[in-house]
Structure 1
Amino acid sequence: MTAEQPPIAPWYKQFWPWFMIGLLGASVSFSLVYLALSIHYFDGTVAEDYYKEGLAINEQIAKQEQARTLGLSAALNADPATGDLVVDLTGESRPERLTLKLIFPTESERDRRLTLEHVRAGRYVTMLETPLRHRWYLHLEPGDGSEPAWRLTGEARFPAQAEIVLAPGD
């Protein structure tokens, strides 16, 4: 008397093979999605020549020390309605032009360089085509065409209602 064993279903009707195939398929799918996202949203924030940029830090510190020695500071006002940018510079330096570098924290292609013209005692003006939005790092330097002797730095979130203070960096 032999007991009959129930027939075993084929593998494709079993739970565990499909569970294992599902885990492998999900991990491959997620990996491909993350790969596509990392390629599409590459931020490019790592410099190619980081060693030279590291050496340039001493130059930046010297420029900021020079601004501190000259007693420089600036107040930036941005009018979102007209697009005017007005900088009031105080201290011992009065160049004919200033260069304002607007540096976007995460996307280098959005960076901008503006030239401000001297209007009267310490006041510099320029106009923007499009109003600024979001957070920016600001670098203000003399814009006479040669290597800048000093630099003022700041950070701003636009549109700004209050004036933005630019000072020698720390």
Structure 2
Amino acid sequence: MSHPVTPWYKQFWPWFLIGLLMLSISVSSTFAFLAIRSADGMVQEDYYEHGRAINMVLAKQERAAELGIAASVRIDPLTSDVVLDLEGDHYPEKLDFELIFPTRDDRDIEITLEHVRDGRYLGQAPDNLRYRWYLQLQPQVDEPEWRLVGEGRFPDEDAVRLTPGRAAPANDS
């Protein structure tokens, strides 16, 4: 009672194992292709220079705290008008207002704000501003003396507060 042995290419298991191998090769090749072709926007090429600039940024924020500068900014959801009220004694003619998108640097927006009277500045944001943004404000000069930072979610009817950005104390819990 011998059973006839069928050739390997007519059996199920060799083709199943070969199929798994081919599937893993095609999936890994696809992921390798995508990893090579798509850029990672979170990684900065000039990380060394960026790290060195952190101390300069902190010094600008400390200088804003020394001068007692703060601001509140509101972006109208209908007209996209930017209205900023600067508190303090220093009122430059123009301010650089940056909206920094947390994950994609190609979506960052720079707006020039013009001084109109007594610490009030006006500018125009792009239409349909949405999502969460990091905000930075500084005078529009070659070497700005101070910088304010904040965080806002748009569209929003409320004003966003910009402060010198000192680090909050850590919780002991």
Fold-level similarity (TM above 0.5)? yes
Counterpart for residue 159 of structure 2? 163
Equivalent pairs: percent with the same residue? Answer: 52
Is 1:93 the counterpart of 2:90 in the alignment? yes
- 1:1-170 maps to which residues of 2 (within 5 A)? 4-39=1-36, 41-143=38-140, 145-170=141-166
Measured on the aligned residues, the alpha-carbon RMSD in Å equals: 1.6
Distance 1:165-1:66 versus aligned 2 partners, 3 A rule: same
* Residues 43, 106 of structure 1: 8 Å contact kept: no
1:106 match: secondary structure:
coil
Please tell me the residue identity of whatever aligns with 1:155. Answer: E
Aligned-pair distance for 1:126? 0.5
Aligned-pair distance for 1:87? 0.7
* Residues 79, 127 of structure 2: 8 Å contact kept: no
| Bigger Rg, which one | 1
Aligned-pair distance for 1:21? 1.3
Please tell me the residue identity of whatever aligns with 1:70. Answer: L
Unaligned runs of 5+ in 1: none
Unaligned runs of 5+ in 2: 167-173
Aligned-pair distance for 1:137? 1.0
Aligned-pair distance for 1:34? 2.4
Output the TM-score relative to the length of structure 2: 0.88
* Residues 75, 125 of structure 2: 8 Å contact kept: no
Which of 104-113 and 64-73 deviates more?
104-113
Distance 1:160-1:52 versus aligned 2 partners, 3 A rule: same
CA distance in 2, matches of 1:129, 1:103: 13
1:168 match: secondary structure:
coil
Distance 1:75-1:138 versus aligned 2 partners, 3 A rule: same
* Residues 43, 107 of structure 1: 8 Å contact kept: no
2:30 match: secondary structure:
helix
Please tell me the residue identity of whatever aligns with 1:138. Answer: L
Distance 1:133-1:41 versus aligned 2 partners, 3 A rule: farther
CA distance in 1, matches of 2:153, 2:38: 23
Distance 1:162-1:53 versus aligned 2 partners, 3 A rule: same
Equivalenced residues, count: 166
Please tell me the residue identity of whatever aligns with 2:146. Answer: W
